[in-house]
Amino acid sequence: MIQVRELTKIFGNQHSLDNVSLEMQCGDRVIIMGQNGAGKTTLVRAMLGEYIPSHGQVRIDSFDPFVQRDKALARIGFVPQLPPPIRLSVQELIRYAVVSSGASWEKIFEICTKMELDVKANMHKLFFKLSGGMKQKLLIAIALARDPKIFIFDEPTANLDPGGRAIFYELLQPYQEGRLMIFISHRLEEIGDLVNRKIEMDLGKVVNDVVL
């Protein structure tokens, strides 16, 4: 489903990704680990077509995410490490997600409720004025409601309280079959039951790739 071939990304004179090659298939539930600055977020951003590779290529179900972005992104539900500064109200953001991806209002509300986010009470608040954990919960709910074939979560529980983390992992259980899931996380102990493959990065390279 995802093919990364000899991918290098250079910012200035820094190799943030250095000749990375990877294949990820349906059924893989991958944790990507590595120190701060190792290149994890750069790798997933390249998968989302946000960066032009300096060298090499990425394919999402055979689509180049930089050239055929719509087709590639339609297959991916992404929850970012840092929520973007979206200047829409919660209601407008949900409406946008519903119109652009076919997720239903009901499903988004249902998942928010499970995550203990009172979305109806915050409908008219601007997204960027929500707390960090509330933003993360809403973005998780939208990603799950879209139900894509590929999920990419970049440190999705970083802003969640312990209860929120437990609920998040519980919510993912029914999504395990027939999909590819990628988690960037520093917490293998938290996520260990869910993943079946561990990729470690260091200095822009994949230094370890093991089946768990």
Ligand X SMILES: Nc1ncnc2c1ncn2[C@@H]1O[C@H](COP(=O)(O)OP(=O)(O)OP(=O)(O)O)[C@@H](O)[C@H]1O
Residues near ligand X, by CB under 6 A: 11, 14, 16, 34, 36-42, 81
Q: What's the closest the beta carbon of residue 118 comes to ligand X, in angstroms?
A: 30
Q: Which is nearer to ligand X, 13 or 162 (CB)?
A: 13
Stretch that binds Mg ion, among 36-44, 65-73, 113-121, 137-145 (CB under 5 A): 36-44
- Rounded to the nearest whole angstrom, what is the least distance from the CB of residue 40 to Mg ion in the complex? 5
Tell me the torsion sign for CA atoms 119, 122, 128, 132: negative
Contact 152, 48 (CB under 8 A): yes
Q: Determine the interface stretch with Mg ion among 9-17, 77-85, 171-179, 187-195 (rule: CB under 5 A).
A: 77-85
Identity of the residue, 153 or 168, whose beta carbon is nearer to Mg ion in the bound complex: 153
* CA atoms of 30 and 192, how far apart (whole Å): 10
Our finding on whether 159 is near Mg ion (CB under 5 A) is no
Pick from Mg ion, ligand X, none: which does 122 bind, CB < 5 to 8 A by kind? Answer: none
Nearest Cα to 153, choosing from 195, 175, 182? 182
Residue nearest to Mg ion (CB): 41
Q: How far apart are CA 198 and CA 85, in angstroms?
A: 31
34 binds, among Mg ion, ligand X, none (CB under 5 to 8 A by kind): ligand X
As measured in angstroms, the least distance from the Cβ of 52 to ligand X is 12
